[in-house]
Chains A and B, each alone.
Chain A
Amino acid sequence: MSEIITTDVLVIGAGLAGERAAISAAAEGNEVLILSLVPPRRSHSCAAQGGMQAALGNCAKGEGDSEELHWLDTVKGSDWGCDQEVARIFADNAPIAMREMAHFGVPWTRVKGGPADYFIKGKKVTLEEPREKEGLIMHRDFGGVSRWRTCYTADGTGHTVLYTMDNMVVQLGIKVHDRMEAISLIHDGTRCLGAVVRCLRTGVLKSYLAKATVIASGGFGRVYKYSTNAIINQGTGQSIALDTGIVPLGNMEAVQFHPTGIVPTDILVTEGCRGDGGLLLDVDEYRFMPDYEPDKQELASRDVVSRRMTEHIAKGKGVPSPDGEHLWLDLRHLGEQHLRTKLREVYDICMYFLGVNPIKELVPVRPTQHYSMGGIRVNKDGHAYGLEGLWSVGESACWDMHGMNRLGGNSLAETVVAGKFCGQRMGQWASQQPLALDTKMAADAVVVQQNRINALLGDGLGKANENVDALHDAMRETLQAKVGIFRKGGELEEAVDTLRDLYQRAQNLKLRSSTKGANPEVALALRLPGMIKLGLCVAKGALLRTESRGGHSREDYPERNDKEWLKRTLARWPEGAAEPDISYEPVGLLESPPGQRGYGGATNISMEQSVAKYNDNVKQEWIKQGWHETATPLGAELKEMVEYASTKES
């Protein structure tokens, strides 16, 4: 019989969210074990460059900032698609989480009092940084915000925070089993008991049993052909949750395209480039963003900038190249000193991967898949719908502070805030649970997975003839071509058809290798059907959502429709089904009624229902979808709304 490992809390994924949750859970007295596809410090969190949003208001342009403003910027950024209570929890806890990270050891860039030079909206300005704030955490500007509130360490924020977090994990002696992949959840239909795990060193299967299982496996960007995501971001966590047939994935059609992926290699250069004064230019080296967005210019929210760039390219203003059309990012005026210190990673990436020196030359960029707002639908404590004992935090979750679009710097901050907050709630919950040791169920679950692997390595089902890499490519190309920045009904239908077909074909994979151990072809073959399923959830959700909101933009339905679509898509995959079941729930209690974002220029179809009526329905609709009761009552974290006018920009 295969090995069984037991622990109180099992965390799947050792990025920032997973590790922060693990630390919180350990602080509640639980034994915690983390699984990771790669050594924890290689997790994709390390690649985040720009920073983390938190309303500390320490610098000149951050003056007067508050949690209130941060919350409202987040709600606006989400195009009112988020759960506003969760956004409150986030905005209120972000400053504490940043200070805590400072206590843990992050070398945040600090305020230097006195005059300092910046580039704002294309012009050089000198601001007087407050001397009484000398030595506090500094901020930089980011897209879609009313104040400077992005805390950062040069352009290695994710790296320094992840290293500091993993230092804490090492200090606390939390066990990390790296090169381990959870390939299915062990559950009885109501309760999650752990996971079946494949060792990527040896190919051996084990089962891990725990009171609470936390999925913190990051995004699924790699279902797209061009993505800024690390190659491990294949949505393994979301797929195993979807495989249960019970747990829904929320808002999978909400996919973010980042304006500045470099061409060709699709590596991200941070939004901090534009935050620090970088400009977007077209084929004529003309700065086009002020024409589209006179107010926010290059620093509108990411969905808007990406759309404007795509629009501009469609007008024939793109720069032709063998790797497709692109636009330019101009950093030259920031100067060598700035580029070699505060944007050093960006400088290195341009030099090593493009052979372009950003001090003297323009950087080729285009919008590239970057983030998945959608994920495992959880309540505000992080507890997944439908299965008790399954939790999720970070990008893999749809906690839903991002709604249909997230603001730059909000997701990196989310990892530590959600990790801390949900980790604590989960830890408290777990410490009151008995450990259910159903070794029979664990063994059965392992057998099911072992049979899958044996079938792949053996002759399959007789008619096995499909090549893993070919299907993998076809899936990525379909999503890239037909479920991109601008979406059309016809193309989305084609995409759903193609993906449905690919999913069927993925049942008949034929491997070319027969190595039994850590065979990478087996790993991909095991992931592929799950990835196609996620792709289908994205495509079908996008097809059915006949409006444009945040990152989801339909050419045939350009308005945001608050009358019919102020709701969250939930996708479930019943056992044996050929495509996901889609249903909907209200986005959450509304504190701020849907309004104008102030950028993006879309028209809205207003709500007909009153806010009070909408709110009345929320809880019962959620319960129908499998929502778990939370530690504090629904709405407990909401506040009395301050007057909207006072939050307008100064």
Chain B
Amino acid sequence: MARQLTFRIFRYDPADPDSKPGFVDYPLEETPRLNLFVALHRIREQQAPDLQFDFVCRAGVCGSCGMMINGRPTLGCRTLTAELPTTITLAPMPSFKLIGDLSVDTGTWFRGMNERVESWIHTQKEFDPTAEEERMDNETAEKIYELDRCIECGCCVAGCGTANIREDFLGATALNRIGRFMLDPRDERDSEDWFELVSTDEGVFGCMGLMGCDDVCPKELPLLEVFAYMRRRMTQVATGQAKPDAGTSQPVIS
């Protein structure tokens, strides 16, 4: 017999003065291989046409559907109801501005993050359309790609103890992004530049080491290894042992 599921969903429309935040129960019968993408659309079609939530690719690559599923931040599209008890509590991720119901404003947050860490290649070189591309060994490219796989879903921020209590904390995604550019030989930022970016309490030295980010990252990014590398490298800078550009010679990812 198919299980009878109860979805306990957080409902609140901040734009509506009459709306009060709280949980509403929606019953739904379980079908084989049911995931939260399908389940939430069924609930919207059959029971709550104005229920707000975000899905885009529904394939685990766009990062839209981060939500708290029974308290744990993860991607809705990739979560099968079979993994869950019959009561499934869904809430929007904390740390982000609520748009309504399960929908949060990750777009504004991540744009701010990208501006803050200056998430782009800093170079004085001009692109020359007639020249061959600058060479890079494949191992370096693979290492950069490993960290570039972040999908900005926000789960690491929602699952971060420090970010939950400190709004200005950069969060794992930002530190990972910095790590990605530290590794990139095309980026001309030097150790001193990185130091002032990550060595504050908002950066890697504000991390309490609860490791929630690493446990919830849907892409299984080597976040803790990146942070450990940063701490070591920043300590070299602070103690004056940093090589001019340690760059790619540092092993980050096993």
How many chain A residues touch B (Cβ–Cβ < 8 Å)?
72
Tell which of B78, B106, B131, B141 touches A107, judged by Cβ atoms closer than 8 Å: B141
**Nearest CB of B to A129, in Å:** 10
| Stretch from B107-115, B206-214, B233-241 that touches the partner | B107-115
B122-145 Cβ-contact flags toward A at 8 Å (1 or 0): 000101010111111110011011
| Stretch from B57-65, B162-170, B222-230 that touches the partner | B57-65
Asked if A110 and B135 make an inter-chain contact with CB atoms under 8 angstroms apart, the answer reads: yes
The chain B residue sitting closest to A269, CB to CB, is B59
Asked if A231 and B55 make an inter-chain contact with CB atoms under 8 angstroms apart, the answer reads: yes
| Stretch from A159-167, A293-301, A427-435 that touches the partner | A159-167
Residues of B within 8 A of A112 (CB): 137-138
Known: A99-B132, A134-B137. Is A105-B149 also a contact (CB below 8 A)? no
Asked if A159 and B151 make an inter-chain contact with CB atoms under 8 angstroms apart, the answer reads: yes
Whether B100 is near chain A, meaning CB under 8 Å from some CB there, is yes
Asked if B49 and A520 make an inter-chain contact with CB atoms under 8 angstroms apart, the answer reads: yes
Q: How far is the CA of A100 from the CA of B134 in the complex (A)?
A: 10
Q: How far is the CA of A230 from the CA of B63 in the complex (A)?
A: 12
Q: Which residue, of B57, B110, B121, has the highest number of chain A Cβ atoms within 10 A?
A: B57
Asked if B145 and A44 make an inter-chain contact with CB atoms under 8 angstroms apart, the answer reads: no
Whether B45 is near chain A, meaning CB under 8 Å from some CB there, is yes
CB-contacts of A488-530 with B (<8 A): 511-513, 515-521
CB-contacts of A198-252 with B (<8 A): 201-203, 230-232
Asked if A99 and B61 make an inter-chain contact with CB atoms under 8 angstroms apart, the answer reads: no
Whether A333 is near chain B, meaning CB under 8 Å from some CB there, is no
Asked if A176 and B111 make an inter-chain contact with CB atoms under 8 angstroms apart, the answer reads: yes
Asked if B133 and A520 make an inter-chain contact with CB atoms under 8 angstroms apart, the answer reads: no
Residues of B within 8 A of A348 (CB): 60
Q: How far is the CA of A110 from the CA of B136 in the complex (A)?
A: 7
Known: A103-B125, A520-B44. Is A159-B119 also a contact (CB below 8 A)? no
Whether A601 is near chain B, meaning CB under 8 Å from some CB there, is no
**Nearest CB of A to B209, in Å:** 28
Tell which of A135, A166, A167, A355 touches B136, judged by Cβ atoms closer than 8 Å: A135
Whether B152 is near chain A, meaning CB under 8 Å from some CB there, is yes
Residues of B within 8 A of A41 (CB): 62-63, 110, 151-152
The chain B residue sitting closest to A203, CB to CB, is B15
The interface residues of chain B, by DSSP majority, are classed as loop
Residues of A within 8 A of B127 (CB): 99-100, 103
Whether B186 is near chain A, meaning CB under 8 Å from some CB there, is yes
Whether A332 is near chain B, meaning CB under 8 Å from some CB there, is no
Residues of B within 8 A of A153 (CB): 141, 145, 148
**Nearest CB of B to A214, in Å:** 20
Residues of B within 8 A of A111 (CB): 138
Q: How far is the CA of A556 from the CA of B161 in the complex (A)?
A: 64
Residues of A within 8 A of B133 (CB): 98-99, 102-103, 108, 136-137
Q: How far is the CA of A179 from the CA of B61 in the complex (A)?
A: 19
A114-154 Cβ-contact flags toward B at 8 Å (1 or 0): 00000000000000000000111110000000000000011
Residues of A within 8 A of B105 (CB): 201
CB-contacts of A84-111 with B (<8 A): 96, 98-100, 102-105, 107-111
Residues of A within 8 A of B32 (CB): 322
Residues of A within 8 A of B99 (CB): 179, 201, 518
Residues of A within 8 A of B49 (CB): 468, 511-513, 519-521
Q: How far is the CA of A341 from the CA of B118 in the complex (A)?
A: 28
Whether B54 is near chain A, meaning CB under 8 Å from some CB there, is yes
Which A residues are within 8 Å of any B CB, using their own CB?
38-44, 46-47, 96, 98-100, 102-105, 107-112, 134-138, 153-154, 156, 159-160, 163, 166-168, 170-171, 176, 178-179, 201-203, 230-232, 264-265, 267-268, 322, 341, 345, 348-349, 352-353, 355, 468-469, 511-513, 515-521
Further pairs besides A103-B134, A107-B141, A135-B138: 20, Cβ < 8 Å: A42-B63, A99-B133, A103-B125, A103-B133, A104-B121, A108-B136, A109-B138, A110-B135, A153-B148, A159-B149, A170-B115, A201-B15, A230-B62, A232-B56, A268-B59, A322-B32, A349-B60, A353-B35, A353-B78, A518-B52
